[in-house]
Amino acid sequence: MDKNLVSINKLKSDIKFMESSFLNSNLKNQLKEVEKRLDEMSIQIHKFNSRFSDSGWCAYDSMNMELIKKCNDEFERNGLDSAEKILINYYKSDVKCLTHWIKKSSKEFLYRYDLLQVFFKNHFDEMYYSSVPLGLIIIDGAVNDFTKSKGFFAEGTNVDAWDCLVGCNDGLEKLKKIFNKNRKKTNFEIIKMPYRNGILHGRDLNYANEYVSCKLIALMFAVADWMRMKNSEGQRKKEYHKSINPLSTGEALKQIKYNKEIQDEIEAWKRRSVCVGKDIPICGNVEEYMEYPYIVAIINMLNAWKAENYGELSKHLKLMFFEILSEGRRAGECRRFFESKKLMSFKLIDVEERACALSKVAVEVRWKENDKVKESKLVFGCAYQENEKEFEIAVPWRDNGEWIIMPWDMNGLYSL
């Protein structure tokens, strides 16, 4: 595995250490299963990059692991051309429901939201003559803003990042070199690579095909992952170094005792079956949901949307926007997205307690946008998390954390 993947390598090392300690056979078997999955993941990623990077693909952190495995399996059965078809089909259809994530990945892509909408529309409409150059322009400009000096394809632009897939040896840096090749002669042949210089300088004339456009979408996801990982690099390093500093014996014993107490409490927790319209109202006031604090968080969020209180709304939906932004800036981004969407009504349609600190809440919302009434189902995860300054496991009954709203399915709000 690439030495850049520090956290995975450390986890494997920790598992090896724990396997040699005095654990019961059941726990050792569980550790071996985790180790087996980690090894399989490492192998699949290495195989994918070694097989597909020369053709303009690289694994990135948010990439579907099942897709990576499927491509590797097809490569072994029927070769590169057949395996590439799987990637083409994915980036022509399946990825459509994930494209809004690009906009949310960084402020640099958010600034280009209008261009992104046109790019994706042209791509999915197979208008490759326009999607390809626009994709190159968006990526180059976003990286230029991010680095504050050079675009993605410029010589000297550093696209490495600590502890992530796109920072690996066969990752983003390799694609950058391939796509930035000099194209000094006019070429009439079909190309399958998004050669930036040849396309934008008018030398590669036959670039408009699904291969080039799909590779640009994959590249855009990889660049978005790189930006996200680069932004969090300092905090991730800090957490990593904290994790490798051993506790004192007294602290370790205290932690073990606390963890045992929490484990016993979690095992004693009972899941409630929540029937909307019977146990709780379909659409009620906050006071009517006090027995279900995670629903209170959802109702408060919806009330803030309806009241057009974007500062409050951005606090509830901070995972929908950018953690790197100040509260004021996040509120501004929230306003930009929601101010054209006037919430008219909402109703709860499904509530599921999945664990003591995780619940799913589905809501049907109606809003007015551009003189049109729209309706969609939104799905949220509600997770109970420890406060930033606390270093203990958070559980709701200890009141040592807060309910965080995770936007699991917001696709309806992004409809054109």
Q: Per-residue DSSP letters for 54-72?
A: GGT----TTS-HHHHHHHH
Question: pLDDT category, 19, cuts 50, 70, 90?
Answer: low
Three-point CA angle 53, 58, 62, nearest 5°: 170
Range of the domain at 22: 8-243
pLDDT at 1 over 50: no
CB 242 within 8 A of CB 77: no
Choosing from 180, 211, 243, the residue where a domain stops is 243
Does residue 51 lie within any of the structural domains?
yes
What gap in Å lies between CA 71 and CA 48, rounded to an integer? 8
Question: Are 106 and 150 found together in one domain?
Answer: yes
Question: Are 216 and 84 found together in one domain?
Answer: yes
What gap in Å lies between CA 237 and CA 232, rounded to an integer? 9
Mean pLDDT across the chain, nearest whole number? 85
Choosing from 221, 243, 265, the residue where a domain stops is 243
Question: Are 261 and 112 found together in one domain?
Answer: no
Question: Are 231 and 283 found together in one domain?
Answer: no
Range in 9-18, 181-190, 231-240, 320-329 with the lowest mean pLDDT: 9-18
Does residue 248 lie within any of the structural domains?
no
What gap in Å lies between CA 144 and CA 150, rounded to an integer? 5
Range in 47-61, 77-91, 150-164 with the lowest mean pLDDT: 150-164
Distances (CA, A) of 68 to 58, 83, 102, 222: 10, 10, 20, 14
pLDDT at 254 over 90: no
Question: Are 293 and 232 found together in one domain?
Answer: no
Question: Are 289 and 236 found together in one domain?
Answer: no
What gap in Å lies between CA 146 and CA 322, rounded to an integer? 14
pLDDT at 392: 62
Query: In the chain, pLDDT over 90 holds for what percent of residues?
Result: 51
Token pair of 90 as six digits: 């994915």
Does residue 38 lie within any of the structural domains?
yes
pLDDT at 399 over 50: yes
Torsion angle in degrees (nearest 10) through CA of 350, 354, 359, 360 = -40
Q: pLDDT (tens digit, 9 = 90+) per residue, 74-106?
A: 999 999 999 999 999 999 999 988 888 898 888
> Of the segments 93-97, 235-239, 245-249, 279-283, which one has the largest average pLDDT value?
279-283
Which of residues 320 and 130 earns the better pLDDT score?
Answer: 130
Helix locations, 22-110, DSSP H: 25-52, 65-78, 80-92, 100-105, 107-110
What gap in Å lies between CA 239 and CA 230, rounded to an integer? 15
Does residue 252 lie within any of the structural domains?
no
Does residue 105 lie within any of the structural domains?
yes
Question: Are 375 and 229 found together in one domain?
Answer: no
How buried is 12 (Cβ within 10 angstroms: 0-12 exposed, 13-18 middle, 19+ buried)?
middle
Does residue 249 lie within any of the structural domains?
no
Question: Are 269 and 388 found together in one domain?
Answer: yes
Q: What is the pTM of this model?
A: 0.63
Q: pLDDT (tens digit, 9 = 90+) per residue, 111-156?
A: 898 999 999 999 999 999 999 999 999 999 999 998 887 778 667 6
For residue 330, the domain's CATH number is: 3.10.450.50
What is residue 272's DSSP assignment? P
What is residue 283's DSSP assignment? S
Question: pLDDT category, 41, cuts 50, 70, 90?
Answer: confident
pLDDT at 245 over 80: no
CA 348, 350, 353, 358 dihedral sign is negative
CB 344 within 8 A of CB 328: no
- The mean pLDDT of 261-278, rounded to a whole number, is 88
Number of domains in the chain: 2
Token pair of 358 as six digits: 């995780």
Of 92, 52, 93, the C-alpha closest to 69 is 52
Choosing from 243, 266, 282, the residue where a domain stops is 243
| Bridge partner residues of 359 (DSSP) | 353, 382
CB 56 within 8 A of CB 192: yes
Question: pLDDT category, 4, cuts 50, 70, 90?
Answer: very low
